[in-house]
Every structure is written in structure tokens, then in C-alpha cells.
Structure 1
């Protein structure tokens, strides 16, 4: 996270006295400062403050939540254990939340900080409710500003790595946007720009992929000089896809002093830490599920079964699994992953030939076809969706009960994100993976993921070995080594 003059301290939210809260509120209101964040006030609900500390401690321990603050005067806000503790809002902004029993862990921990205007880094598994975690404070911030809309001047920008994820975020936000009277638009490549240019004229919130947003920024279609709320979603994935320079170019005109920045990521490699240090000011780091690391971690609510087999047996096994899950009047939603588009097309034809309701989403389809097939799966018109890794990240498809990996992906990171399409929003999930001898170079990483999620590791997988192969660099292959510049030189002495 870069060098800082003060030590990073782990916070346990402490009960604040009413005098402390009043003092904080007063000082916050009196600050003129250079930051909108400093003018944002958040008063903890009295009912939340009155809860015994033991209940807060138990919640943090059970949900494995760690809050680390770099601020010298960290207020120690308590997590929102219930929607009842949300800050007052003079509208029906919170009405759609009634369909959920309680905030997810990442929502409970980050909402107080985001409502208070702090920069936040959220590190959490896929399917943990991150969209509403950053989306609800964004909408409330726009409502509270009470400023008229200005053409070409969005208030909030949310950047995501893929078109599918951007569309998913957009679909979530529009459920709340009418109440907030905040126009939301979704910007991504592969479609004509004219309609997007028109939408940008009145949009308060822009959800976008980096490439298309940078194009529209360069041709003058959008001015990001008034952005006060910036979200980088799945930051690790955006860096993996080579978007770092695009992100820097997009963020450059945004006012640093008046901008609140939020970053969500599933892993915490050095590249993401460096990005956070570049764009954020004294951020609070919220980690769900254990200490942040550079290694992929699977959702512990997903039951992972790995079946080691001969590649020639895959299709018969797939049909067996589908026959079991699709029987009866209420078939399960099943997501079937393949590695390449030709394989996906062949598997889709096989499933269709066997009489199952199937749709596909892969690189050979245009964007309209992909969205149409995805909608069919979401609505239940198709109960099996065959996909390549284009669908592995970000898609929040309700009630996916089973993920089947017909072919293991190229990386263990992609495996984690594939199976993360089930077990979302606090539900349990199931993933079945077909593993062959051709995949043995990835056995070590897979074994580590299984062990970290407390899953059974089959003996047939252990025979391939538990050594983790080094991730290859695009240019330098397996010889690439990411060494920090702060590492001291080692003195080497030769014998006479």
C-alpha cells in the first residue's frame, strides 16, 4: 500500500460515547477542507451503539472480518448487523433491500465507512454482495448532494473488467436509481457509440469497461472532471487483462481532493497494492474470510468435488450429472464450463441432442446473442448454460445450484472464479470438476484451493503432486520473477 508515516493498525469497532459522536459530527460539519469526503457525515444509529461489544466481537469473528485503518484518528464504526441501522434517508431508497434477510459481510463492514466518505479497499470472495456494498452509498451520496444534473459531467464512475460484469452492475443499480433520481448508463465495447454518447449527457452514474470509456473520453464525449465517487471493481482482473494504463488515463482528470475512491478485489497481489497506493488517500482495508493474500481463495460455502478421469469419459459423465440435476418438474440451474469456444459449441449441441434446455455464451456469439442466451438462463427458459471463461467473472445469476467444469481452465484463478458463479449471496453451492492427466501441472494450485476451503482432496489428485507451478509472464514465460524494488542486495562470497 506504499510507505506511510504511521503504522497500519487493525481496528475492532468500539462503542462510541454520545459526546464523542457529537464532537465528531460537529468537527466534520465545520471542516471546509478540500475533500467532499471530509464534508460527508455519518452518525452511527443509537440502537447499534447500544449493542453489547460482545455481540459485535462475535459477528466479526464468525464472519471472519478484519478492518485495518491507516488513519491516525480512526472512528471505529461498528458494522451494520441489520438494515435497520442504515443512516436515515428521506425516500424509498432502501425499499428493494426488503427482499434480503440482512447485509452480507462485505456490506455490513464497508457501508459505515463509505457512508462516512472514507476511501475503502474491499477484499472478498466472489458472490459476496459487493455491487450493493459500493452501489448503495454511491446512490445516497448523489441524493444528498441535491445538485442539478449537468451534461457531460457524471458524478460517479464504476469501472469493471468485462462487458458482462458491467451489465450486471448496471442491472443492480437501476433497481434503486429511480428513487435516487440518478441516471445510470452502461458503457462497453462491441456496440455503436452514438447511443452511449447520448446517454452520457444526462447520466449521473457511469458503469463502464476501461477501453470504451477511454475512447469516449478521448473523443470528448464525456468529461470526468466532476467525478466524486470512483469504483474499481475486480481490480485484480483488470490488471491481469492489461488495463492499468487505461485506468490511469481515465482517472487522471478526476479531482483528487474531492473524490472518494473504492476498490474491490478478490486477491491482494503487489500490483493491486501499488494501484491502491496511486489512487487512494488513507484507505480502510476490509478483508472478508482471512488475511489478504495474492493467492486465489474459493468460497467456503461451495462444495467442491474433483473427479480424476480419462478425457474420453467426460461426455458420458456430463450427461449423467445433467440427468440427475434436470429430473423432475423443477430442474436445477447448471452452468457448464468449457475451455475453448469450439468445445463449448460441441458440448452445447450434445446437451441439446439429449433433450435438455440449453443455451450458450462464448466468443463466437455477438453481444446481442450472448445477452439473449444469458437472459434465457436467468429466466429459466434454459436451465443449462454452456460457457467459456468469458462468463467466469462477475456474472451474478440467481440460484445457480451447480457448476460443472468439463475442461479445467488455464489457471487456478480462473477455476476459483468459475465455481464462484454458485454459492452466491450467502447460499450454498456445488461444483464438480473433471480433471485429467493433461491438467496435472495445475494440480498443486488446485490442491491448495481445496485445502484452504476445507474440502476433501481425492487421492487420485494427490498422485499428480502438490507443487505449485509458477505463473507465467506474457513476455518472459516461466522464467519471469516479480521482485520488489525495495529488496536489499545479497553479498556473495566465493571460496578461494
Structure 2
């Protein structure tokens, strides 16, 4: 074969290949050909994009593309009621996560179980790092309860479905919770009946579950709520906004993190995506978190205002508003931010949302202020609100400032192993100084205060909770709301000037009906709170040192001679009464009481004292490390 024939064969082969290529179609022959359409760069790579009949500029098309067609909007009216799946696809989860549930055709589709995530969320019953101090139900039987308001719902007695959603019950069972606490018995029925609530309960009594359980149950049953987005208004920035259905406000970063972890736990395998935002940390990671979906948002007021101003969060879809530690938020000066969030932004007004307030105290002035946020609310008072739990043995020691370190070492040497000790000081410098002193004295200690970075604070809390450093020195930043399991001893190295701060500090022990010990170093520099401290000790049936009464008499004598008012701390009141009854009379309100008196609850420390040189018997037996966390 000549060269000419070979060249001709190659030319023919090339021509045949070109003809075949010209007739080839990469489109599957089973499907009709589609005209090419322009896809904006930020939407490229999104699968199963959907466009409704309102046109490509409608904001709902952008939202759909941003969620990878997660809303599956197909109806001609463009409403979200026709959405097939929360996240689309067969996995019902974000980015293919099969443990994430979905909302599909008006039904709650539960995600698959994830053993690794379950261990992370619920821990192991044999893992001391994840197991918290348990509920003492015998003590809870004696706790007084008062409920007032119009048409107050009857309390529940056990976790059942109804009224709670069956999937929530499965998560409660995973957490190994058997019975509701008193605050939960009442709050669950009240919230399920769509009533606003003002709840007062002692620390560690289950307030977090008191609002999470009924809210999550209702969200599981009703599904997502349509964001009220104006028609014809679309932009990429708008589509990146989060439209949470539930907003939980709390005063500190540690508390919002704690609430968020409980939200993750009890929303496990559901369609609800919890998120948390707070200051002092990278805002970029928080923005990425809310962009992936945000149904239940836990936030500090300052960071929330920041993200609202940035146009990244809208409150127009809020159905449930929770103010946790509400009295402290208002009293610490957060009132302007809270009023802006609740009244000055696009949040639905009080008639179109359900509002819940939970705290350890609700004195009269805070109750009056809080009425602006509530409608026809039920007032719930559980236990000796505004006072201290009688499960806490309070010991007051007269110690001059120069002797505090040596007395502290005596106490720590005498304490039995196994429990955690929380030491409160007044200044950030003292927190670091005392922590370094304890380390040099061979006591494993860490510190937490406002000058430490968020990462350092979280690490310190992690090491303290896990028992690697069983002693933590803290300023007031850790005094409110934190659930630190197995804290058997609280020491007020420096007493606060406000008796309410003292109450909340010692409330870190004796949680959930268990016993604990509180020791306070007192000297004449603390005489401004001597009267309130005496009243508090009497209310809790505690031993009263004679030096407190002597200093009180000195104060009274000085005041009478100089014609001045009594030197005292600012005791705002116990907040155990519904002040609507004071102004309106009680005839318009239905009331519930369990018939218990505010008398003493038996304590295992009745023979305690410091007369034996801080022996371990003096401090009694610490509460056990087994049981459940009730926040």
C-alpha cells in the first residue's frame, strides 16, 4: 500500500469521526433537550435548582438555590406550604448528613441514628465527664409551687405523648431523664397551651428544659414557618439572612453556649437546626453557621444587635421568644439592647409571638418592666425564689484579708476528693493571682474571667467540668446560669456587695435538689451586706455566727448616732409573688399551690461546723457524681 492510499484512509477516518462527533449529544436521550440558561456565579454548582412562576427575580428562587433546592417550591402561588423536604435529596440532611431530619409533605421525617454523635451529645452513663449531679426527687416532693393567672393549665406529672412530641420523648429517654422537675411539670403544660410565662425557680431546677421541651415539641409538630419576605424583592445579601423561628436571649457567652448544647441534644435527628452567636469570638464562623440554616437561635444581646445591623439575621419569623436570666440581663444594663431587639426591629409584636421569661429571681421592679414583653401571662414560682436552697449548707467565717490564703489552704486540704470547688473573687487580677498561688501550693487550679479570650475560657471550663483541674477561681462572669456538674463546694473568697450576687454564686452548688456547701470569708469590709446576709441565713434555716449579729448592732448604733440610714446591700426582694395580685386583687386570677409550706427541707449537714479544724466530716458527704443534668 502506497503512501497516498494511507493518507487517504486517514483522511476518511478523520472525516467519519468528525461526522460522528457532530451528531453526538451529551444530553440523555430519555430527556428532552433544554435551552441554555444563564446561571449567576454564586448559584453555579447548585443541584436541582427550582424557579417558581413568579419569575427569576423573586427572592424565593434565590433562597431555594441557596439551600440546594432544599425548599422544593413547586406550586404556582410560590408559597412554602408545598415544600417537599427541608433539605431535599434522599438523605434529609444538610450536605448529605443522614442524622439530620426533614419536613416533608407536612410530616416530620426523623433522621437516622448516629452512634458517634449520640455519644457526643448524650455521653455515657459511665463517663464521669458527661454525667452530672442527679435530681434528688425526695427533696423535690417538698418544694412549694405557686401558679397564678387566668385559666392556668393543669400541670403534667410524667413525660408523655401527648402533650409532648414522641420524637422529643425519645431524645429525653436518650438523656436518661425519668421524671419532670416541678418547674417543668408546670411550664410544659403552660407553653403547650400557647400561654406566655414568667417563671421563677431555684438554680439547677430544670429551667432550661422548662422552655426547650415544650418549644421543640411544638416545632416538631408544626414544622417550619414561612419567612415573611416581600414579593419581588430579591438580592444575594437578602438570601443570606437567617430567619429563626425561636430566639433565646441570655446574658453571658457561657450560658448561651450551655443552652445551645442542650438545644443540640434535644433537637437531635429533627428538622430543627440550632445555632448560637455571642461576642468575643470569630464572627466569620458564626456567620457560616447561620448560613447553613438557623431555626433556633441562642444569642447574647450585643452580638445579635451586631448581626441584625449587618443584615444577616431577621427577626420577622420569630414565633417563640425566651429571655433566660431575664432579671440579670435587665439589671446589668442590657435593657436598651433588649428593647431594641424586641420592640425596635422587625420581630412580631407581643400579640403575635409567645414570650417566656425564666430566672432565679423576679423582684417587683423587674416584673413591672417585664410586663411590656408579655401578654396575659402565667406567673410560676417554684421553691424559695430569691432566696437560697436549703440543700446548701452555708458557712460564714470571719477572716481578715491577710489571712484568707492560709484559711483557704486549710479548707482545701480538709476536703474529700471527687468533687469540684468553685472560688469566687471580685477582680480579674485576683482570679489569676489566686490561681497561680494554688498551683504553686500543689493544687490543680484554673481561672476564668472577662479578660481571658473566649477560647481560654472555654478550655478552662472544659478542664474544670472534666475534673482535670477540680478547682476554678472565677469572677462574676461564671456566677450566673452555668451548669457545672458535681460542684460540691463554693467558696466566696471575696464577698460581693449585692446579696443577689451572693445568692447566684452559691447556687452553683446544691443544684437540682442535691446537697452542697458554701463557705464565705467575711470581715468588717463586708458589713454593707450584713443585714441581708443575716436575713438570708434565717430564711434558709442556717446557723448564724454571733459575729454577724454583733456587726449588725454596730451598724445600727452608728446609724442612730449619725442619723443615717442603715448600711446595707441592695436587696431587691425575693420575687416569689405575682404583683398583679397586689394591684388588681386576687379574684381575677386562678391559683395553684401544692400545699407545701416554705419550711425547712432536711439537710445532711445539720451537724456541720468549723469547730473541728475543717475536718472532712465537718463538710459532710458531697453529692454523688451519678445522675442526670437538669441545668
Q: Say yes or no: TM over 0.5.
A: yes
Contact 2:322 2:357 in 1 (8 A): yes
Matched, 1:444 2:520: no
Q: CA deviation at 1:281?
A: 1.0
Where does residue 267 of structure 1 map in the other structure? 361
One of 90, 96, 99 as aligned partner of 2:166: 90
Deviations 1:23-70 (A, max 9, x none): xxxxxxxxxxxxxxxxxxxxxxxxxxxxxxxxxxx999832100101x
Where does residue 112 of structure 1 map in the other structure? 189
Q: CA deviation at 1:93?
A: 4.2
Where does residue 198 of structure 2 map in the other structure? 121
Change (3 A) 1:461 1:258: same
Greater gyration radius: 2
Where does residue 301 of structure 1 map in the other structure? 391
One of 328, 338, 348 as aligned partner of 1:255: 348
Contact 2:529 2:569 in 1 (8 A): no
- List, as ranges, runs of 4+ consecutive aligned residues in structure 1 with deviation greater than 4 Å: 58-61, 148-151, 470-473
Change (3 A) 1:427 1:199: same
Deviations 1:405-457 (A, max 9, x none): 11111211111111000011221111011111111121111111111111111
Q: CA deviation at 1:183?
A: 0.9
Where does residue 400 of structure 1 map in the other structure? 487
* Residues matched between the structures, number: 407
Contact 2:140 2:181 in 1 (8 A): no
One of 498, 501, 508 as aligned partner of 1:414: 501
Q: CA deviation at 1:94?
A: 4.1
For 2:252 and 2:211, the matched residues in 1 are separated by 18
Where does residue 115 of structure 2 map in the other structure? none
- Secondary structure of the residue aligned to 2:333 is coil
Where do 1:455-470 residues align within 5 Å? 455-465=542-552, 469=567
For 1:299 and 1:277, the matched residues in 2 are separated by 27
Where does residue 288 of structure 1 map in the other structure? 382
Change (3 A) 1:440 1:100: same
For 1:282 and 1:310, the matched residues in 2 are separated by 51
Contact 1:149 1:204 in 2 (8 A): no
Contact 2:171 2:268 in 1 (8 A): no
Q: CA deviation at 1:200?
A: 2.3
Matched, 1:338 2:338: no
Q: CA deviation at 1:77?
A: 2.9
Q: CA deviation at 1:199?
A: 2.1
One of 275, 282, 299 as aligned partner of 1:208: 299
Matched, 1:240 2:317: no
Where does residue 148 of structure 2 map in the other structure? 68
- Secondary structure of the residue aligned to 1:102 is coil
- Secondary structure of the residue aligned to 1:304 is strand
Contact 2:197 2:380 in 1 (8 A): yes
Where does residue 102 of structure 1 map in the other structure? 179
Deviations 1:277-300 (A, max 9, x none): 11111000000125x6xxx41122
Where does residue 439 of structure 2 map in the other structure? 352
Q: CA deviation at 1:372?
A: 0.2
Change (3 A) 1:262 1:198: same
Contact 2:168 2:217 in 1 (8 A): no
Deviations 1:340-379 (A, max 9, x none): 1111112111211121221111133111101101000111
- Secondary structure of the residue aligned to 1:180 is coil
Shifted more, 87-96 versus 187-196: the winner is 87-96
Contact 2:424 2:474 in 1 (8 A): yes
For 2:261 and 2:395, the matched residues in 1 are separated by 32
Where does residue 54 of structure 1 map in the other structure? none
For 1:157 and 1:318, the matched residues in 2 are separated by 42
- Secondary structure of the residue aligned to 2:194 is coil
TM-score, scaled relative to structure 1? 0.77
TM-score, scaled relative to structure 2? 0.61
Matched, 1:180 2:252: no
For 1:63 and 1:359, the matched residues in 2 are separated by 35
Change (3 A) 1:413 1:111: same
For 2:294 and 2:268, the matched residues in 1 are separated by 12
Contact 2:267 2:273 in 1 (8 A): yes
For 2:533 and 2:357, the matched residues in 1 are separated by 27
For 1:106 and 1:406, the matched residues in 2 are separated by 32
| Unaligned residue ranges in structure 1 (runs of 5+) | 1-57, 474-485, 488-496
For 2:279 and 2:551, the matched residues in 1 are separated by 41
Deviations 1:201-221 (A, max 9, x none): 311011011111011112211
For 2:415 and 2:142, the matched residues in 1 are separated by 32
Matched, 1:81 2:157: yes
Q: CA deviation at 1:301?
A: 1.3
Where does residue 14 of structure 1 map in the other structure? none
Contact 2:528 2:567 in 1 (8 A): yes
CA RMSD in angstroms, aligned pairs only:
2.4
- Secondary structure of the residue aligned to 1:242 is helix
Contact 2:171 2:265 in 1 (8 A): no
Contact 1:104 1:426 in 2 (8 A): no
| Unaligned residue ranges in structure 2 (runs of 5+) | 1-137, 228-240, 557-565, 572-581, 584-631
Q: CA deviation at 1:269?
A: 2.5
Where does residue 224 of structure 2 map in the other structure? 147
For 1:387 and 1:422, the matched residues in 2 are separated by 14
For 2:383 and 2:225, the matched residues in 1 are separated by 41
For 1:96 and 1:228, the matched residues in 2 are separated by 23
For 1:190 and 1:227, the matched residues in 2 are separated by 25
Change (3 A) 1:107 1:86: farther
Change (3 A) 1:191 1:440: same
Contact 1:310 1:436 in 2 (8 A): yes
- Secondary structure of the residue aligned to 2:311 is coil
